[in-house]
Structure 1
Amino acid sequence: MALVTEELKAKAEIYSGDALCQEKCQFLLKEVGLPNGLLPLKDILECGYVAETGHVWLKQRKKTEHCFKKVGRLVSYGPEITARVEKHRITKLTGVKAKELLLWVTLTDISFDGEAKVTFHSSTGLYRTFPADAFMAEEDGKK
């Protein structure tokens, strides 16, 4: 998906502020059946969702990096992330890269088998599958 257009914004539910956007982000991941830790973003300025098409966007103050320790992968989330979501899938993903050896690989799709495995697809056609529990956020109070 390209940039967020005014036409797209006119059809969307739009939220502002980090706390509300974090809550909506978690709700969306739960609604489409994806692990709740896939989007560990910080300082989110705006998020939008078009229910009829599944288009979603997130804008954060600056790029953030997160290391998924259980699988030893560093992921970079750009200031603007766009995607299309559907049951157990994220497609047309932009703004997310994963470090593979010494290279940053652009991620384009994420799929979940609904039980135990998450598969990440890159723009080059490469893909990697990991255990889903590596992408679950810890609940408040649990370590």
Structure 2
Amino acid sequence: MPSGLLPLKDIEEVGYDRESGVVWLKQKQSIIHKFEEIDKLVSYGTEITAVVETGRIKKLTGVKAKELLIWITVNEIYTEDGGKITFKTPTTLSRTFPVSAFTVPEEVEPAKEKGSEATEVKEAVAVKEA
């Protein structure tokens, strides 16, 4: 699953039952997040529960997506070959989007200057010799 699928804040509790695959998350307050790439609003309640399997989230509660003027419950999410992710509702309606729309870019460490790396090596050698 993509790293930015559940952009929750102020998480108070996280749980996972390995045998059943049940996961629960509790946050201080519900939030609304906009996925810019696909121009969609998603609401995350204070408590989110789901059954998790490889490439699939089933029996999802606490997540709604805004479609036109109404909020629709999302109860299943799964990834497909070809970089697609599908969201299903209890009425079996579904929408498919590119996985990239839900991926958070990894933070890259700033590159060290060449001069500072050489200085660090010289300092380490000086300490070792002393």
Q: Same fold (TM over 0.5)?
A: yes
CA RMSD of aligned residues (A): 1.2
TM-score (norm 2): 0.80
User: 2:99 matched to which residue of 1?
Assistant: 132
Q: SS state of the match for residue 39, structure 1?
A: coil
TM-score (norm 1): 0.73
User: 1:116 matched to which residue of 2?
Assistant: 83
User: 1:80 matched to which residue of 2?
Assistant: 47
CA displacement, residues 83-122 of structure 1 (integer Å, 9 cap, x when unaligned) = 0000100000000000000010000000001541000001
User: 1:55 matched to which residue of 2?
Assistant: 22
User: 1:92 matched to which residue of 2?
Assistant: 59
* Structure 1 residue 124 displacement after superposition: 2.1
Q: Which runs of 5+ in 2 are unaligned?
A: 110-130
Is the 8 Å Cα contact of residues 49 and 57 (structure 1) preserved in structure 2?
yes
- The whole-number CA distance in structure 2 between the counterparts of 1:45 and 1:136 is 23
Kindly name which structure, 1 or 2, has the bigger radius of gyration based on alpha carbons. 2
Residue identity over aligned pairs, in percent, reads 55
Distance 1:141 1:64, change over 3 A: farther
- The whole-number CA distance in structure 2 between the counterparts of 1:135 and 1:57 is 20
- The whole-number CA distance in structure 1 between the counterparts of 2:102 and 2:108 is 18
* Structure 1 residue 140 displacement after superposition: 2.0
Q: 4+ runs of 1 displaced by more than 4 Å?
A: none
- The whole-number CA distance in structure 2 between the counterparts of 1:59 and 1:42 is 10
1:8-87 equivalences under 5 Å are 34-87=1-54
User: 1:29 matched to which residue of 2?
Assistant: none
- The whole-number CA distance in structure 1 between the counterparts of 2:80 and 2:68 is 26
Is the 8 Å Cα contact of residues 88 and 114 (structure 1) preserved in structure 2?
no
Q: Which runs of 5+ in 1 are unaligned?
A: 1-33
Q: SS state of the match for residue 48, structure 1?
A: strand
